[in-house]
Amino acid sequence: MTNFGKLVRARREALRREDSRYSVRQVAQRIGVQPSYLSKVERGDVAPPSETTICKIADELDENSDVLLAMAGKVSSDLQDAIRKRPEVFAELIRELRNQPDHAVLRLVREVRDGEW
Amino acid sequence: MIELEDDHLVFSFSDVHRDARLTIGFQRTLRIPDDGRKYPLPPGLGRFPLRHVDDFAPRVPGTWLTHGGVMMPMYQSEALWLHFSSSYPFAVKVATGKVDAVSGKTWTDGLHRKPQDYLVVPRQPWLDGYNVGRGVIRQFVAMPLGAGYTVEEQVTGEAEAGGLQIIVYPMTSESYERYTRRMEVFSRPALMARKARAASVGVDMGLAPGGRMRQEIYKDQYDFSDWDHGRSSRCFVHMANSLAWGSITGERPPHAPVTAAAYKRAGLPWFEFYGDGETVSASSVLQKVKSVVGLATVKGDVPLPENESVEIPEDEIVRLRRNLRPDQVREGQF
């Protein structure tokens, strides 16, 4: 079982204990795959699904899609596009920041949020 | 986008031009007497701390979360001025309680030329208050929202928004390359605050007109089409009563600044700035609003402690850039 599959199963089972709508069959139906395929994904018998399906799983299980994509060995296409546009800048930025604590990284990239007024 | 850096708001438009970066600081200062006289510029007494409202979501009013932006602590009757720093030209609208501090009009996004409702940075290095006369402003002074003193309440009759609102428009990159303006750096010294003062309760603060001060608000010398009207960033700056700042953030608010009289007794300098260029006319709306003391007299309140007049000798006024061209280096005494 892969870490990705383990996390999906653990999260789904936790939700199922509270709500029967989180059975393999019903979740598979809502994200548009066969139940047998979702079982194989959870067991790690097949490679993780596509980015679109992972994002649907994340949405269904209320998980962060970037975290699930990373666990599946993928990077979301919008991030890939951003890196492709400025590969040197982002490569240098990521290498610079990889050992920084979260609060330092958040401080670096955080914007002031505008609301409604 | 807007970021918080060392208690400054930093507006950057990297998609417009790599130089398109504006820093706005909120300086603590002494409150000049509200006695009808015109005073020179007071000093900076250090920056107000700025925090994201989202970081303190459970303890701030719900409307602050709707507005987004940042917050800072202010004592009742404390004054502030805004410091703009940029080498790239920006049009900057500043409003308090969603009433424009230059034109007196109620808030709308977008720039307007007649009457001009924005400042042009870097020509305008500072803003200390409301445009109430050509070359004269009334100082920004914090008062509790709902007490009837803020400009918002006097102009709109409502106490809804409070705080301070800023929207920034960069010059287009094509116009910038054409003008190749040079940056001027002006400074007013930062001094240490020394004396705490009691304040009244109430979390949400707004700004009201205080004493009169000599300060020019410059006319836009560029073409209106030089501004990139399609790109802007805006920020709502909420003002929390300093007495509530600790319970919201867990941080101690700054001490209240010294009084004008104490500052004068210490023989410390005041300032006058001499820029070149035309200035905007007074706002007919803002000319009619009453100062805090003026309104308090009508109401029978005493909202401004320590408001005694001070005489400021000419030799205690530092005159910045008098009779100098914008690009001329000032020669000092040595």
Going through chain A in order, the beta strands assigned E by DSSP cover: none
- Kindly state the greatest CA–CA separation across chain A: 52
Q: What is the pLDDT of residues B220-267, one digit of tens each?
A: 999 999 999 999 999 999 999 998 999 999 999 888 777 888 887 777
Residues of A in contact with B52 (CB under 8 A): 110, 112-113
Cis peptide upstream of residue B253 (ω within 30 degrees of 0): no
Q: What is the pLDDT of residues B160-199, one digit of tens each?
A: 999 999 999 999 999 998 887 544 445 565 554 333 333 3
**Reduced DSSP (H G I as helix, E B as strand, rest coil) percent helix, strand, coil of chain B, to 5:** 20, 35, 50
**What is the reported pLDDT for B138?**
96
**What is the reported pLDDT for B197?**
34
Q: What is the pLDDT of residues B128-171, one digit of tens each?
A: 999 998 889 999 999 999 999 999 999 999 999 999 999 999 99
Structural domains of chain A, ranges and CATH numbers in brackets: 3-71 (1.10.260.40), 77-109 (no CATH)
* Chain mean pLDDT for chain B: 86
User: B99 pLDDT exceeds 60?
Assistant: yes
B3 closest CB neighbour out of A112, A114, A115 = A112
Decide if B3 and A114 are in contact by the 8 Å CB cutoff. Answer: no
**What is the reported pLDDT for B324?**
58
Measured between CB atoms, does B54 come within 8 Å of chain A?
A: yes
ipTM score for this prediction: 0.72
B235 closest CB neighbour out of A110, A112, A116 = A112
pLDDT band at B40 (very low <50, low <70, confident <90, very high): confident
Decide if A112 and B9 are in contact by the 8 Å CB cutoff. Answer: yes
Q: Which residues pair with B207 in a beta bridge?
A: B142
**What is the reported pLDDT for A103?**
66
Decide if A112 and B67 are in contact by the 8 Å CB cutoff. Answer: no
User: B322 pLDDT exceeds 70?
Assistant: no
Decide if B3 and A115 are in contact by the 8 Å CB cutoff. Answer: no
Measured between CB atoms, does B283 come within 8 Å of chain A?
A: no
A112 closest CB neighbour out of B4, B65, B161 = B4
Decide if A112 and B2 are in contact by the 8 Å CB cutoff. Answer: yes
Enumerate residues 6+ apart whose C-beta is below 8 A from B136: B38, B212, B213, B214, B215, B282
Q: How far apart are CA B217 and CA B127, in angstroms?
A: 8
Query: How far is the alpha carbon of A111 from chain B, nearest alpha carbon, in Å?
Result: 5
User: B329 pLDDT exceeds 70?
Assistant: no
Query: How far is the alpha carbon of B87 from chain A, nearest alpha carbon, in Å?
Result: 22
A116 closest CB neighbour out of B52, B66, B70 = B66
Query: Taking the domains of chain B in order of start, what are their residue ranges?
Result: 2-320
Q: What is the pLDDT of residues B263-293, one digit of tens each?
A: 877 777 888 777 777 889 889 999 999 999 8
Q: What are phi and psi of B332, to 5 degrees?
A: -100, -160
Query: How far is the alpha carbon of B63 from chain A, nearest alpha carbon, in Å?
Result: 9
pTM over 0.80: no
Decide if B3 and A111 are in contact by the 8 Å CB cutoff. Answer: yes
pLDDT band at B58 (very low <50, low <70, confident <90, very high): confident
Measured between CB atoms, does B185 come within 8 Å of chain A?
A: no
**What is the reported pLDDT for B270?**
83
B52 closest CB neighbour out of A112, A116, A117 = A112
Which 62-81 residues of chain B touch chain A by CB within 8 A?
65-70
Going through chain B in order, the beta strands assigned E by DSSP cover: 2-5, 8-12, 21-29, 38-39, 51-52, 70-74, 79-85, 90-96, 99-100, 119-121, 126-127, 129-133, 136-144, 164-170, 205-214, 233-241, 270-273, 317-320
User: B57 pLDDT exceeds 90?
Assistant: no
The residue ranking higher by pLDDT, B46 or B316, is B46
Query: How far is the alpha carbon of A87 from chain B, nearest alpha carbon, in Å?
Result: 17
Helix residue ranges per DSSP H, B81-182 = 151-156, 173-179
Choose from B54, B56, B152 for mutation: most chain A CBs within 10 A.
B54
Decide if A114 and B233 are in contact by the 8 Å CB cutoff. Answer: yes
Give exposure, B219-250, as e/b (b: 16+ Cβ within 10 Å).
ebebeeebbbeeebbbbbbbbbbbbbbeebbe
Measured between CB atoms, does B18 come within 8 Å of chain A?
A: no
Mean pLDDT of successive 10-residue stretches along chain A, which has 117 residues? 86 95 96 96 94 95 91 91 88 83 68 87
Residues of A in contact with B12 (CB under 8 A): none
Decide if B68 and A112 are in contact by the 8 Å CB cutoff. Answer: yes
A109: nearest CA partner in chain B: B3
Measured between CB atoms, does B1 come within 8 Å of chain A?
A: yes
Q: How far apart are CA B294 and CA B58, in angstroms?
A: 38
**What is the reported pLDDT for A112?**
87
pLDDT band at B318 (very low <50, low <70, confident <90, very high): confident
Measured between CB atoms, does B236 come within 8 Å of chain A?
A: yes
**What is the reported pLDDT for B167?**
97
Share of chain B above pLDDT 90, in %: 58
Choose from A85, A105, A112 for mutation: most chain B CBs within 10 A.
A112
Query: How far is the alpha carbon of A77 from chain B, nearest alpha carbon, in Å?
Result: 21
A115 closest CB neighbour out of B4, B66, B233 = B66
If residue B274 lies in a helix (H) or strand (E), which one and from where to where? none
